[in-house]
Chain A
Amino acid sequence: MDARLQAELQKLLGPENILHKPEDLLLYEYDGSVEVARPDCVVFPQNADQVGALVDLANRFKVPLVGRGAGTGLSGGALARTGGILTVFSRMNRILQVDAENQRAVVQPGVVNSDLSAAVAHLGLHFAPDPSSQKACTIGGNVSENSGGPHTLAYGVTTNHVVAMQVALPTGEMVHIGSAAVDAPGYDLTGLFVGSEGTLGLVTEITVKLTRLPEETKTLLAIFDRVEDCTETVADITARGITPAACEMLDGWSLRAIEAYIHAGYPTDSAAVLLIDVDGLREAAAAQSEQVADVCRAHHAREVRAARDPRERDLLWKGRKNAFAAVGRLSPSYYVQDGVIPRTKLPATLRRIEEIGKKYGFEIGNIFHAGDGNLHPIVPFDARDKEQFRRAVAASDEIIEYCVAAGGTITGEHGVGMEKDRLMPLMFSEAELELMKRVRDAFNPAGLLNPEKIFPSAKGCGEIRPRPRAQKQSEVPVA
């Protein structure tokens, strides 16, 4: 790295806010995905002005600049693929304003997702997007990836809850886009920025909508002896126009993995379960939980359990939210996909996933947001075995190709990043990708912000490198 740039960074941020020794950078080579990329240095800005100055420096020295929250992302979005400065927002973690009356909050990008909900809980409010990594992931990261989560089925994903932001553009200017009041006039730049994976600007401040906590939440666990009965239940719940707050499916393989780790009370002898939340007014939640239970029984649920108290509910959800960590204990590595399909195609797709598993010699697990058709097939493998890794990627790709052929998409909430860029041609023609690049270049003309993400690089396939997972997983869940 250019010594003059290093000196400028020192001057701007102070040595305590910069990492550049190889051993310090090691941690930042990774995120929640299987990707690896080393930055040249890691910086921790404390305020928006410093972010603006960083962008300016990156521009002057023509070095890449990549934003990062907690690094829980699953597509390599927060990795410095071509080196450069990795800008970590963990020290910009203040909730700047809470306006309970208007159900708005202004936060810095490094605020942890669940910290915001915790901070406004006493006002009867919460921030609705709830990725499974919500105890670690940041709202800035959620904005970049347009994160989802189990309860986005009824409440919508991140983009539905962001109304305005302050952004440092690659040109060094700071701009405000959107507004706290709804319907900001002009093009919906906020809608464009959310989910742009850090390729258009660095977000330095975010105005979000807060959602009123439901008066009542009922949590059901429906237990099935056949996977097909479970998937048909989901399709039927959707078709009957019932929208639960969340509808998660876990198959037998994952249930056993989770029970060995969390003891959430899942039945380890079943083929699959649905974990369903219904909420709203007392009267509405009661009626809806009856309806849902009826549909489950109509599809031969062996048992429909209702959580008796908040403790039981939390335990059931703890199992789901730590599912991926549990899988990590069983397999040295695993590859998680994020395909989406129309919900009517769930039964056929799960059958296909099983066949693909057999073909490639894997037992593929399924833990996913069934209610919105967002699959997370998990292919466990041993990364030390190159051949096995190659097969794991091939199996995942075949699943994704099936999702696309079924009318779905390659990523529902994890982002394209550097993991699925090579799959983009499944969704978009060259001309369509060129148009998206034109939009990117309008904001990021020199291509310094999060380079080589989203768009397929000229280098082509074979870019994915395995990373062995530590046998002892941290408690930080993903997905």
Chain B
Amino acid sequence: MSTPAAGAVSRLEALVGSSAFTAEPERLAEYGVDGIIPIVALQPSSAEEVVEIVKFAAAEKLAIVSCGARTKIGIGLPPRQYDVALDLTRLNKIVAYDPGDLTLSVEPGVLLCKLQQHLNQHGQFLPHSAPFMTRATIGGTVASGVEGPLRQMYGTARDFVLGMEFVTGDGVAGKSGGRVVKNVTGYDLHKLLIGSLGTLAVITKINLRTFPAPQSLRAFALHFATAGTVTACRDAVAASALRPMTTEIMSRTMAELFACAPAFRREPHTLPEGVLSAIGWTLSISFNGNEAVLDRCENEMRRVAESAGAERFVRVGNANGKAEPISIGSLYVRLREFIPIALASSPGCTILKISVLPAQLQHALSAAEHAANDQSLAWAAVARGVGVTYIALLPGGRDEKALNCVSAAANRIREDCARIGGHSTIPWCPSEWKSALNIWGPDRPELALMRKVRNAFDPRGILAPGRFMGGI
């Protein structure tokens, strides 16, 4: 790693002013990424300051990692070089909100929960049901590519981000898209930035579609004995006329985690008695609509449950869902927050994200069950109806023995899923395990293209170098 001259450090301080600059070791430690500590941390308060910082860093070959609340900073490989922490939390204005048009323009440092509160006053919400909701910023949520239960109905950020403004690795202030709901003017560069972990550009503004808050919600929990029956039930719902808002499958062990202390730290309310299966799998499903619609959904769900062999059918609750967090009870919040809940439950918690086609969820869940059991590893799973499964492997320790078990189980799950055309990454694991676990998986055929894209945005390679897939 290069050691920038003291001159460079003081120039950076001059760019943002001393109140937005820190080089104190204690505070810098908070900005560590995989144990790598930057030389300075800067808190710019305008896009213009970001341009100046990036231009300077590019000229001096200083590497930048941009961040918000840093709740998801652990995703990705350790940076190859890390000099400047670019803390965007002072870029925290709601620039424009047009409730009548259901569009919004925000700076990246706006807290997601504050944003939801603001939209809520107008009966609207952002269907970004992302984890770490109370602390996360909208910028970090978009840049890290996390998603949540509401994607069943509303899709992911790529479906509701309308445009962005950003600063490339050579300090060019760029933009793409706009703030209207339909737009094909120029390349959709903002889609590349979603989930790019800050490796292409520093996001300075995000334009989003907002949505009317659901009228009224009803949620159900269905218990099943096996992964085969719970997924068959999902398949039956998908083939019906029903349009659920969320569809999530949970393992018995996830139900146990939801009853433990870390879960209560995220969501103080207890789960209603008997909502989650203590012996098998649970399908959690919710619907939005008027009373007639909800009654119809309930009737159909009872029928589907019976023919799929559900052991129990529980109505979780009714709610006038004002907005995210939707108050269909404490189960929804736990589902949204299962990542931090799992992370808190094991020192070596390793979470695989596996994508398969929706009707192949059983394959992914069974692969996890077998692989973890063979290694005598505790594990828990949440699978979304659209075909995304998160497997949390929960070893008792963080030593080499634990790594070996986790690695053996993870490899087997990934190979099993790759065999049916699925793909997987490991967004969460102890830093020191990242290279052994090959968190990004095998190189994809389009990696060379991704490299070219990265070079187009960041010709000097100063933005979070090394963190992305293939060490890009």
Contacts and interface: CB of A to CB of B under 8 A. Distances in A.
B355 A431 contact: no
A438 interface: yes
B453 interface: yes
A413 to B, nearest CB: 6
B161 to A, nearest CB: 10
A181 B182 contact: no
Given A181-B357, A435-B172, A409 B180 contact: yes
Contacts of B441: 185
B416 to A, nearest CB: 14
Interface in B171-225: 172-176, 178-189, 191-192, 194-196, 200, 211-213
B452 interface: yes
Contacts of B11: none
Interface in A195-212: 195-196, 212
B450 A189 contact: yes
A409 B178 contact: yes
Interface stretch (B35-43, B96-104, B127-135, B398-406): B96-104
Contact of A427 (B99, B102, B185, B455): B185
A413 B184 contact: yes
Nearest to B420: A181
A236 to B, nearest CB: 9
Interface in A65-120: 99, 101-104
Interface size class of A (residues with CB under 8 A): 35 or more
Interface string A141-159: 0000110100010001101
B147 interface: yes
B355 A181 contact: yes
Contacts of B101: 238, 342-344, 373
Contact of B423 (A181, A188, A412, A439): A181
B14 interface: no
Contacts of B423: 179, 181, 184-185
B159 A160 contact: yes
Interface string B156-167: 101100000000
A342 B179 contact: yes
B98 A342 contact: yes
A341 B103 CA distance: 12
Interface string A423-437: 010011001111110
A415 B184 contact: yes
B6 interface: no
A140 to B, nearest CB: 16
Contacts of B445: 175-176
Contacts of B454: 187
Contacts of A271: none
A424 B289 contact: no
Contacts of B181: 340, 343, 372-373
B453 A189 contact: yes
A18 to B, nearest CB: 30
A343 B102 CA distance: 9
A188 B159 CA distance: 12
Contacts of B422: 181
A215 B239 CA distance: 12
B332 interface: no
B338 interface: no
B453 A439 contact: yes
Contacts of B446: 175-177, 186, 189
Q: Which of A281, A287, A369, A411 has the most CB of B within 10 A?
A: A281
Nearest to B444: A186
A454 interface: yes
A7 interface: no
A341 B180 contact: yes
B388 interface: yes
B236 to A, nearest CB: 11
A270 interface: no
A278 interface: no
B425 interface: yes
Contacts of A176: 445-446
Contacts of B155: 156, 160
Interface in B229-277: 235, 238-239, 241-243
B355 A340 contact: no
A340 B468 CA distance: 36
B286 interface: no
Contacts of A145: 184
A16 interface: no
A372 B182 contact: yes
A187 B200 contact: yes
A67 to B, nearest CB: 16
Contacts of A410: 185
A195 B184 contact: yes
B183 A340 contact: yes
B184 A287 contact: no
B118 interface: no
Contacts of B355: 179, 181-184
Interface of A: 99, 101-104, 145-146, 148, 152, 156-157, 159-160, 169, 175-177, 179-189, 191-192, 194-196, 212, 214-215, 235, 238-243, 280-284, 286-287, 340-344, 369, 372-374, 407-416, 420, 424, 427-428, 431-436, 438-443, 454
Given A156-B159, A241-B102, A432-B186, 10 more contacts: A181-B387, A187-B200, A191-B191, A283-B293, A343-B181, A344-B100, A427-B185, A431-B173, A433-B186, A436-B189
13 contacts: A157-B182, A169-B449, A191-B158, A191-B194, A239-B100, A241-B123, A281-B243, A283-B292, A284-B293, A342-B101, A407-B178, A432-B173, A433-B186
Q: Which 9 A-B pairs have the closest CB atoms?
A: A241-B212, A191-B191, A442-B452, A181-B355, A283-B292, A215-B241, A344-B100, A412-B182, A342-B101
